[in-house]
Amino acid sequence: MQATCDRQKSYADKIRKPLEFHVGEKVMLKVPSWNGVICLGKRGKLNPRYIGTFKITAKVGPIAYRLELPQELSSVHITFHITNLNKCLSNESLVIPLDEIQVDDKLHFIKEPVEIMDRGIKQLKKIRIPIIKV
């Protein structure tokens, strides 16, 4: 019995990773799957598992962290358990500012072609489909 327990522990230790965050790091917050208890972000069929990128402001204990939340989430407590956080691996230089994105009155993106790279025609049995690479 002890050999079986040791074998299972060795399997678990290979998968288990120690989590630790530092003050100032960016993390994503896990959206709870409780229906109607706490509403974080969108709800419905395709709701996300993690939301936002939030900055850690303080380490409360060995497994609790305090986050800097936006005004929309003011009703949510700002201290979270370490299992509800995920390290954000995004590159800050690749973030698109919201000023550059143009949206019409129905909240559809306005797409502007920059340059036409190539043109072609795809021939099916009786249909010819023009293909343009932008």
Q: pLDDT tens for residues 6-45?
A: 999 998 888 877 788 999 999 988 877 555 445 555 556 6
Domain 2-95 has CATH 2.30.30: yes
Model confidence at 3, in pLDDT bands (50, 70, 90)? very high
pLDDT number for residue 70: 84
Residue-range domain boundaries for the chain: 2-95
Tell me, rounded to whole angstroms, the distance of Cα 108 from its chain centroid. 22
pLDDT higher than threshold 80 for residue 123: yes
Cα angle 85-91-94, degrees, rounded to a multiple of 5: 130
CA distance 25 to 68: 11
Mean pLDDT of the region 72-84: 85
pLDDT number for residue 46: 67
